């Protein structure tokens, strides 16, 4: 189906253009907020050619269409809708009621996703280039590459590009958080910038909170609280800005509202939010470190297996975006991300399960299923697992479970070998360049183990006869 026709059908099934409040997209999903949920027909959307599945959370709809396609469909939809629709008072009333019915936890995860999803292309590009810069540096140390000349120029250019984003990740987070909470974007960026400025250490030292010997153990230090603190801080910033603007005369608004807002918010942010969120982020890192740095192989194997095996259900429910702050905290405090490589094994387990189903489907001459897998498998190998989830393993039921069981073995290996990534992004083979140079081989082995695990588990637990009825 033509992309324009597909968008027209999706919008029609969501109640028409006047019922659309907002359209965004991530790598594989068209993300749409509707005004009145009662006007939507989700079953009709699921039947459209090109739609892999739909995830609902009240008025928030995630329509899975696959990599690349989501960006094109979002662009077409935005051109048709124009400015966000506010609707009449009745529609607004329905939208508020529908929003109130949503699970608060899921609503929070939605906000986190909308803060970080737009940053994903930069996160991936910066991570890969930083990894390549590190690889060149390691080869230079061993004299495999010259330490000067063209290779050094390339290394420094890669480091420059990667550092331009990852070094100022807090600022980008602040800007996107301000967009979500309705604050002035520049003020959100300023709050993020404050958290990484050296002046924080000077203020901390004045109050005796700074530990010069071990800065990370300080009550308050540069970067304390990470993205958790920034998100909370910008949320408060939005509340303060709206309150100040209400009482500020129009003629003075441009000058005094930003200044007063920043003064009030900065005091709260520096002296309360950063130290408190620092305790939370330190606790998260410490908890993960118990698993990652455990001297017991048994702990590594069990934790890696469980984490990888349970990740697919999180993706199904759209909860995986809630892990992004943990990735960011690990990157800030540990210089690398250990959780992402383990969870990335879930997609590889699903690939193995799909390959097993492919051979069984060919055996019973289920050409429709063979065709579906042939189309979805390349995306799965590249790390985009949703076409396989919604097109193959989830509809069949049992393979969705066997994929997780098989992925667990890869997760156990990755955790046991302490694989670390320099960023996060899609799983699969495209994640290999995101790994730190010393972890590339073990991550690749982990993917192969997950392929085999998913294949074997599905081969033994799924019968060919089960595919004849589909």
Starting at the edge strand found earlier in the chain, the sheet holding 60-64 runs: 20-25, 29-34, 60-64, 53-57
pLDDT band at 86 (very low <50, low <70, confident <90, very high): very low
What share of the chain has pLDDT > 70, as a percent? 91
Which residues carry out catalysis? 26
CA atoms within 13 A on the CB side of 453: 29
Q: Based on the domain organization, do 348 and 460 belong to the same domain? A: yes
Asked if residues 383 and 427 have their Cβ atoms less than 8 Å apart, the reply is yes
> Is there a domain that residue 109 lies in?
no
Report pLDDT digits (tens) over 134-160. Answer: 888 878 888 888 988 999 999 999 999
Q: Is 37 helix (H, G, I), strand (E, B) or coil?
A: helix
Backbone φ, ψ for residue 130 (5° rounding): -65, -40
Q: Based on the domain organization, do 279 and 343 belong to the same domain? A: no
Asked if residues 124 and 27 have their Cβ atoms less than 8 Å apart, the reply is no
Q: Based on the domain organization, do 232 and 283 belong to the same domain? A: yes
Find the length of the chain.
470
Range of the domain at 333: 297-467
CA atoms within 13 A on the CB side of 451: 15
pLDDT, mean over the chain: 85
The larger pLDDT score, comparing residue 434 to residue 57, is at 434
Q: Based on the domain organization, do 267 and 323 belong to the same domain? A: no
Indicate the number of domains in the chain: 3
- Which single residue is written with the structure tokens 């982020």? 281
The larger pLDDT score, comparing residue 317 to residue 70, is at 70
Q: Is 12 helix (H, G, I), strand (E, B) or coil?
A: helix
Q: Based on the domain organization, do 281 and 236 belong to the same domain? A: yes
Nearest C-alpha neighbor of 349 from the set 441, 411, 420? 411
> Is there a domain that residue 69 lies in?
yes
> Is there a domain that residue 149 lies in?
no
Given a cut of 90, is residue 172 above it in pLDDT?
yes
Q: Based on the domain organization, do 342 and 277 belong to the same domain? A: no
Q: Based on the domain organization, do 311 and 460 belong to the same domain? A: yes
Give the single-character DSSP code of 86.
-
Among 46, 76, 102, the domain boundary falls at: 102
Q: Based on the domain organization, do 313 and 393 belong to the same domain? A: yes
Q: Based on the domain organization, do 402 and 315 belong to the same domain? A: yes
- Which single residue is written with the structure tokens 């065709």? 371
> Is there a domain that residue 333 lies in?
yes
Q: What are the residue ranges of helices labelled H in 317-366?
A: 324-334, 339-343, 345-363
Asked if residues 80 and 30 have their Cβ atoms less than 8 Å apart, the reply is no
- C-alpha distances in Å from residue 75, one per residue of 4, 44, 79, 87, 111: 10, 22, 6, 22, 21
Which pLDDT belongs to residue 6? 92
Lowest mean pLDDT among 43-57, 190-204, 273-287, 381-395: 381-395
Q: Based on the domain organization, do 447 and 362 belong to the same domain? A: yes
> Is there a domain that residue 222 lies in?
yes
> 155-158: long-range contacts at Cβ-Cβ below 8 A with a sequence spacing of 24 or more?
158/129, 158/130, 158/132, 158/133
Among 102, 121, 150, the domain boundary falls at: 102
- C-alpha distances in Å from residue 371, one per residue of 53, 357, 400: 17, 12, 19
Q: Based on the domain organization, do 278 and 415 belong to the same domain? A: no
- The arithmetic mean of pLDDT across residues 443-452, rounded, is 96
Which pLDDT belongs to residue 122? 84
Rg (CA), the chain: 24
Instruction: Please give the model's pTM, rounded to 2 decimal places.
Output: 0.68
């Amino acid at each position: 189906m033509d992309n324009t026709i597909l968008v027209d059908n999706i919008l029609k099934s969501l109640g028409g253009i006047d019922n659309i409040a907002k359209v965004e997209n991530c790598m594989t999903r068209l993300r749409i907020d509707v005004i009145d949920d009662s006007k939507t027909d989700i079953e009709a959307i699921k039947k459209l050619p090109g739609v892999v599945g739909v995830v609902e959370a009240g008025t928030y709809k995630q329509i899975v269409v696959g990599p690349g396609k989501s960006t094109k469909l979002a662009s077409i939809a935005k051109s048709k809708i124009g400015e966000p629709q506010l609707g009449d008072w009745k529609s607004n009333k329905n939208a508020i009621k529908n929003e109130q019915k949503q699970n608060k936890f899921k609503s929070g995860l939605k906000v986190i996703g909308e803060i970080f999803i737009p940053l994903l292309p930069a996160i991936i590009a910066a991570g890969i280039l930083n990894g390549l810069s590190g690889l060149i540096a390691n080869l230079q140390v061993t004299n495999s590459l010259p330490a000067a000349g063209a290779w050094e120029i390339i290394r420094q250019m890669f480091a420059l590009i990667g550092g331009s984003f990852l070094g100022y990740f807090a600022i980008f987070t602040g800007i996107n958080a301000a967009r979500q909470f309705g604050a002035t974007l520049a003020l959100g960026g300023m709050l993020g910038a404050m958290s990484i400025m050296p002046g924080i250490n000077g203020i901390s030292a004045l109050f005796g909170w700074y530990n010069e010997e071990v800065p990370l153990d300080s009550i308050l230090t540069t970067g304390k609280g990470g993205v958790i603190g920034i998100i909370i801080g910008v949320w408060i910033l939005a509340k303060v800005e709206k309150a100040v603007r209400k009482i500020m005369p129009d003629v003075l608004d441009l000058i005094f509202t930003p200044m007063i807002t920043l003064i009030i918010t900065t005091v709260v942010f520096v002296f309360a939010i950063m130290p408190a969120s620092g305790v939370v982020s330190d606790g998260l890192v410490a908890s993960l470190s118990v698993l990652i740095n455990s001297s017991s192989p048994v702990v590594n194997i069990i934790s890696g297996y469980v984490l990888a095996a349970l990740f697919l259900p999180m993706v199904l429910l759209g909860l995986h975006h809630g892990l992004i702050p943990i990735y960011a905290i690990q990157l800030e405090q540990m210089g690398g991300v250990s959780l992402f490589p383990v969870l990335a094994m879930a997609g590889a387990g699903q690939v193995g399960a799909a390959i097993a189903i492919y051979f069984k489907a060919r055996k019973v001459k289920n050409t429709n299923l063979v065709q579906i897998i042939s189309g979805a498998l390349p995306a799965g190998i590249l790390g985009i697992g949703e076409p396989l989830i919604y097109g193959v393993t989830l509809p069949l039921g049992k393979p969705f479970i066997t994929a997780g069981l098989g992925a667990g073995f890869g997760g156990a290996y990755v955790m046991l070998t302490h694989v670390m990534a320099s960023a996060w992004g899609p799983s699969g083979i495209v994640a290999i360049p995101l790994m730190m140079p010393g972890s590339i081989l073990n991550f690749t082995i982990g993917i192969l183990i997950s392929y085999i695990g998913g294949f074997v588990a599905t081969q033994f637990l799924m019968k060919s006869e089960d595919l004849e009825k589909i």
